[in-house]
Chains A and B, each alone.
Chain A
């Protein structure tokens, strides 16, 4: 049986996965927060052939203590990146631990509109109590409460996306009606800590629902599209993916891989050692890590294909590793059909091989799903 080609995602927050990555960046520290730099990273990722970029976020600054690193909100960066690219999927991290699910839903639906159907959402959880103080909200404490806020937020956001049927905008000149109110739905969500009425203020997103990605185990698997899984070897990652997809889980599972590649300027080991002078790059038990030449990463991804549906790469230093990924890794993967590029004009769902869902409130089940808002 032919193996399905891997889909490739890359995390582009900050200057890279290493906490001191900014020291090897090809720009001055202040340049990180400029539109020019956001557009450049997006262009490199799109031209390389990635299907998706993800953008980490929190109301708390990255870095620690009295010397924070600046970070523009992930939704704002994602919208900017979407408008600077044409085929690349964009998925910000957003947590509903403290944010209003109504706003989160509107932001992501709008991201899907501005990107013509290329939006995703990495479901986040704010575990740090300092986030509660920054939001000015009572802290959500304990694993159960954090899971509840993540689960309820996800349900509300999805239902709000569905609250406008695809053809709710009817523009009927004959009856003078712009909307058909029978195709708009209150979601009437009532959870343990809050309720939300609906419907959304944003018409249904082009994809129906933006693609939902979540770390396996953080939210109900049946509400997500892509599980992000760990494992420290290809076999472990494959097993984790199989476990995530079983029993009504999401259709897809992506392995998380931290990568540090040999570059013309230094081997991966030398580059890591250089950064270790400032901060440790702590290995996480839930992630693969690859360090070495580009060819080795190609071999690892070949080994992963067939076991997982895709990977999310976390490069050590974006300015260095993205260049090697672009020149040596992705072209080889595409040549050998280990991985696939997104096709121009495709939505993120289509690029991932996912179907476009009908609104769960759809009253006429014979209604054909449509791609875009009726004019």
Chain B
């Protein structure tokens, strides 16, 4: 294998950043394997976070969801589900880890900025400046049924609310001037008089007036992550985020196109191109040889997409119940039912089911795939498969060409799913000079090489 010549690339000194995504709700985590641990016990979170820290990862990341997923009028029961409140879980991990960033996915639609900003600031202080916030939005009334306000937000307002929310949160984090806390017990008061500003904000979404309760952390503010892929989402990221997650990290050209798009939006927003890190979500399957890696990846797919899971995914695509069909037979002959989102929540992943079904039929026909094989080949989310050396070469190319700044890894096994990556892949990356050999800072912002908060 020829190594990429580092001098012949746009970013010869680029370093790869890794995050780990403890998904919590998904069918990619193989729960059926005997080595699969609890999805809720503290030991699982601790083991994964400590492994990631041993592997010098930037961040440990938790997802969010404010209602259990349902399909066909019942709670979806095939996949891993049930997870902790992320800030609570991460505050516990702050006590049990030293360096790794702790990123909470927290929703701007069903939280209030004064409260959430305070919770995140507390996590940031308890972790010594390692907190991050993945800003997500919801608009559907179905999620709203768990909250006082119900389904109060129009679709168009969700990013407006997110922007105003973030502005209030930043004002809360900026509320205390440098040196606002008295230096000694003999001072006139605990905080320096008038060094704590009030936050008064009145917009289309909020009318708040509060006294922030916390000074800045070692990194100033929690690091802002964002994951929306729509034009609106990408613009939001370009204007406000420090890190963007994407689903564009498997195919090089696709990843590069996404990165170029984001860089264009950054320029349009008046921010430098290096103000944002791009970390696509991915899965990584490692084998000693290419053949072994492919075999392992095949096993992973079959465990993830059992016949029942394949039928479940197809049911959500087609829009009606396909359970009882033969997953190893051909694709259903019926056309998908469109505009029927009352029976499926939090589980449909495509905008236009008819187009997707047409594509599935064409490819299944051309390749002779069964329904299950089609789901495995064409269903959502793929990852990287290879040997440690091969993957290291590939990732070095991705990062040195500016297609990504790193990856947010979703391990297919919890809690041992990072072991291969840390023990086998990280040393290969280090050998190629594309991965850190030690943490150089203590905060998440420093790990990511982001500019200090002003």
Contacts and interface: CB of A to CB of B under 8 A. Distances in A.
Contact of A66 (B85, B122, B176, B196): B196
A72 B122 contact: yes
Given A135-B112, A136-B206, A171 B31 contact: yes
B38 A375 contact: yes
A197 interface: yes
A367 B308 CA distance: 28
Interface string B91-103: 1111110000000
Interface stretch (A176-184, A246-254, A348-356): A176-184
Given A72-B125, A76-B123, A100-B148, A29 B92 contact: no
Contacts of B183: 28-30
B81 interface: yes
Interface string A74-86: 0111011111100
Contacts of A233: none
Nearest to B116: A103
A366 B83 CA distance: 27
A373 to B, nearest CB: 6
B85 A106 contact: yes
B213 interface: yes
Contacts of B65: 201
A204 B297 CA distance: 34
A61 B196 CA distance: 11
Contact of B211 (A25, A61, A73): A61
B69 to A, nearest CB: 10
A137 interface: yes
Interface stretch (B185-193, B375-383, B400-408, B433-441): B185-193
Contact of B115 (A111, A135, A202): A135
Interface residues of B, number: 84
Contacts of A82: 92
Contacts of A296: none
Interface in B174-214: 176, 181-194, 196, 206-214
A84 B148 CA distance: 34
Given A71-B213, A201-B66, A202-B82, A29 B31 contact: no
B94 A29 contact: no
Contacts of A102: 66, 110, 146-147
A75 B94 CA distance: 13
Interface size bracket, A side? 35 or more
B213 A61 contact: yes
A28 B184 contact: yes
A114 B94 CA distance: 12
A2 B39 CA distance: 44
A149 B42 CA distance: 32
Contacts of A180: 77
Contacts of B41: 113, 372-373
Interface string A199-219: 101110000000000000000
Task: Please indicate which of the listed interface residues B92, B184, B307 has the most CB atoms of chain A within 10 Å of its own CB.
Answer: B92
Contacts of A164: 82
Task: Please indicate which of the listed interface residues A110, A195, A199 has the most CB atoms of chain B within 10 Å of its own CB.
Answer: A110
Contacts of B194: 66
Nearest to A104: B85
A39 interface: yes
A107 interface: yes
A187 B187 CA distance: 52
Interface string A167-202: 011010101111111001000000001111111011
B26 to A, nearest CB: 11
B145 A196 contact: yes
Given A22-B190, A178-B31, A29 B182 contact: yes
A109 B148 CA distance: 20
Contacts of A59: 114-115, 118, 210, 213
Contacts of A148: none
A34 interface: yes
A178 B94 contact: no
B75 A179 contact: yes
B85 A110 contact: yes
Contacts of A69: 190-191
Given A29-B185, A135-B115, A171-B32, A68 B213 contact: yes
A345 interface: no
Contacts of B309: 176
A63 to B, nearest CB: 6
B163 interface: no
Given A110-B88, A202-B82, A35 B95 contact: yes
Interface in B434-452: none
B40 interface: yes
B287 interface: no
B213 A70 contact: yes
A151 interface: no
A114 B89 contact: yes
Given A72-B122, A113-B40, A79 B81 contact: no
B148 A80 contact: no
Contacts of A375: 37-38
Contacts of A3: none
Contact of B215 (A70, A101, A114): A70
A356 to B, nearest CB: 17
Nearest to B310: A176
B111 interface: yes
B306 interface: yes
Contact of B125 (A35, A100, A173, A176): A35
Contacts of B89: 79, 110, 113-114
A134 B208 contact: yes
Nearest to A85: B95
Contacts of B37: 375
A203 B40 contact: yes
Interface string A123-144: 0000000100111110000000
Interface of B: 31-32, 37-42, 45, 65-68, 74-75, 77-85, 87-89, 91-96, 110-115, 118-119, 121-123, 125-128, 145-150, 176, 181-194, 196, 206-215, 306-309
11 contacts: A63-B191, A66-B194, A66-B196, A67-B188, A70-B214, A75-B119, A115-B42, A164-B82, A171-B32, A184-B75, A202-B84
